[in-house]
Amino acid sequence: MRVGFIGDIVGKPGRSMLELHLKKLRQEFALDFVIANGENASHGFGLGSQHAKELFSYGADILTGGNHSWDKKEIIPLLDIMPILRPLNYPLGVPGRGVSVLHVKNETIGVLNIMGHYGMPMVENPFFKCSKSSRSA
């Protein structure tokens, strides 16, 4: 299985780059699955519902977020129904999920979205959270 990861897509320039190049990259590198960080795709702060749909239409399979996951409030109800992950190590009770297990090309893959501490809001220790998640998976 070949997985591609695209770092922070920022605003219209980032979305335009995805539109222009992702389909070609998927073909050139025979990518079976693409993970893209979309938390800043809407004008550099957050992810709006229209821009999420746009990124999926360009070929992203799942979107990840971070400290800007909730900047656009319209995305909150979509976190539970679209393949969009917020950081797993945010406190219990926040909308969305931080891990997804999917079946791609007869294989099972897991995508874990976790946020570090440096320069970020205080969240559960990412190393402890990953360790707990791996024991319960």
The residues carrying an active-site annotation are: 68
- As a whole number of Å, the end-to-end CA separation of the chain is 21
Specify the long-range contacts of residues 90-98, CB closer than 8 Å, at least 24 apart: 90/115, 90/123, 90/124, 91/123, 91/124, 94/70, 95/70, 96/69
> Which of 36, 45, 34, 35 shows the shortest CA–CA distance to 10?
45
Q: Which residue has the tokens 């409030």?
A: 73
Q: Cβ(71)–Cβ(45) under 8 Å?
A: yes
